[in-house]
Structure 1
Amino acid sequence: MPERRPRKDATRNRQALLAAADELFTRRESPEDVTMADVAAAAGVGKGTLFRAFGDRTGLLRALYEARFEPLREAVESGPPPLGPATPPLRRVPALLDAALCFKLDNRRLALALEESGGTSPYQAEHYGHWHGLLQALLDQIPGVADAGFTAHALLAATRADLVEHLAGREGVPRETLRAQLANLTARVLAPHPPRD
């Protein structure tokens, strides 16, 4: 049996809902300020259409997050250095962590809303598993790095949305300071073989 394609209006509605949610999460101060009714109204559809497209609030957040995350995923999977697969592990690990931090900084409200949605643990999210597996595989290739699985978790913890929000939002730590602090932490973890330019 051939695969069933979504109707054109369903695809159009989905795109309109993602665009509306994207704008609302960007403009509003707190993720909790964005309701499903707000998103449906901004997209010009009924709430039933929204729930059919995404299931629930967590499904909407996950879809929006994945849409924003896709360019970074493509850069990591097939892009040029320093993120792409041709980069040596000692340079790629800090580049990947920096990219993850910058993504969370650029998408603070959305990332925080997704992590706090209560649907599942952030550690069970598909994108987290992807990043952890990639970092663990790279860390396994670096001599002297002990317990690559735990180390990957520990490094990724420094890019969690709640920590990024606390540091950048509540404490007002500048973006470049956060990036430098993460780079320093990563270099210490990778010692005695810190990344070289």
Structure 2
Amino acid sequence: MGEASGPGRVELTVLGQAPVERADAARNRRRILDAASRLLAEQGPEAVTMNAVAAAAGMGVGTVYRRFGDVATLLLALLDHREQQFQEAFLDGPAPLGPGAPPADRLRAFLYALTDHIAAHRTVMLAAETASPMALYRSAAYVAWHAHVSMLLHRTRPEADEAVLAHLLLAPFGPGLIRHLSDDRGTLLDEFKAAVDHLLGMCLPVRADGARAEGASAD
């Protein structure tokens, strides 16, 4: 179902709801993704080039380019199923990640879940980012994350520019930073999430009694 529309609400669409493809186009897409997945598993993300995928799929490179456009788009498409599961969890799953909890609690739960999501797929996401630095921000996944965070911020900080603030809140969740902190600095995900709490503490409003506001009522 997704988030209900109305004042302060944002209509979100789960990935995978594209128009129905012709049977031959769907088969080609699956062959390309299967070939890219094999290359990724056997040789790593550096091996996933348009020419290599075309050869592994047994088709012309022009077909691969027409279907996906560039390597970054192809790599992100490999994560489509996991992204669908993630979106379903924050759109329609149990609280506090899904509806039913105060917006501030949902925002914290979302950023925690996003941390786990990106950490699990940071190698592929980083390869896509390296191939095209703007790929993630232009992806359907990021558009959905940003819309969801903007909606929750609207309910907790209605006086703020929630669109810009949402981008700033999402900025630390790039695959490069998470890989650097976890692989190079030895930062645990629990430590990263503790820092997320401090970041949210600076963003969420404070009531007159000094406690952090819960925002609007639960969904």
TM-score between both structures, scaled by the size of structure 2 = 0.71
Deviation string for 1:40-89 (max 9, x for gaps)? Answer: 34445443442343233233123223333111111122222122122220
Task: Show the 5 A alignment for 1:37-186.
Answer: 37-118=51-132, 120=134, 122-142=136-156, 146-186=160-200
The percentage of counterpart residues that share the same residue type is 36
Partners of 1:22 and 1:146 in 2: CA distance: 42
The equivalent of 1:13 in structure 2 is 28
Partners of 1:131 and 1:48 in 2: CA distance: 32
Deviation string for 1:1-50 (max 9, x for gaps)? Answer: xx884134x42332232233234435555x33422233334445443442
Matched-pair contact (CA < 8 Å) for 2:205–2:213: yes
Higher alpha-carbon deviation: 103-112 or 143-152: 143-152
Higher alpha-carbon deviation: 14-23 or 139-148: 139-148
Amino acid at match of 1:18: L
Deviation string for 1:72-107 (max 9, x for gaps)? Answer: 111122222122122220110011111211111011
2:173 match: secondary structure: coil
Partners of 1:74 and 1:4 in 2: CA distance: 20
1:73 match: secondary structure: helix
* Alpha carbons of structure 1 residues 58 and 143: separation in structure 2 relative to 1, 3 Å: closer
Higher helix share goes to which structure? 1
Higher alpha-carbon deviation: 78-87 or 181-190: 181-190
Partners of 1:146 and 1:4 in 2: CA distance: 39
Q: How many residues align?
A: 191
* Alpha carbons of structure 1 residues 178 and 96: separation in structure 2 relative to 1, 3 Å: same
* Alpha carbons of structure 1 residues 55 and 182: separation in structure 2 relative to 1, 3 Å: same
Matched-pair contact (CA < 8 Å) for 2:115–2:189: no
What's the offset of the Cα at 1:112? 1.3
Matched-pair contact (CA < 8 Å) for 1:17–1:50: yes
Q: Which runs of 5+ in 1 are unaligned?
A: none
- Across the aligned residues of Structure 1 and Structure 2, the Cα RMSD in angstroms comes to 2.9
1:86 match: secondary structure: coil
Partners of 1:19 and 1:40 in 2: CA distance: 11
What's the offset of the Cα at 1:148? 2.9
What's the offset of the Cα at 1:178? 2.0
Deviation string for 1:146-189 (max 9, x for gaps)? Answer: 44333322210111122112212332322332233223322343
Matched-pair contact (CA < 8 Å) for 1:100–1:159: yes
* Alpha carbons of structure 1 residues 46 and 68: separation in structure 2 relative to 1, 3 Å: farther
* Alpha carbons of structure 1 residues 170 and 147: separation in structure 2 relative to 1, 3 Å: same
**Are residues 1:22 and 2:34 paired?**
no
Partners of 2:20 and 2:163 in 1: CA distance: 40
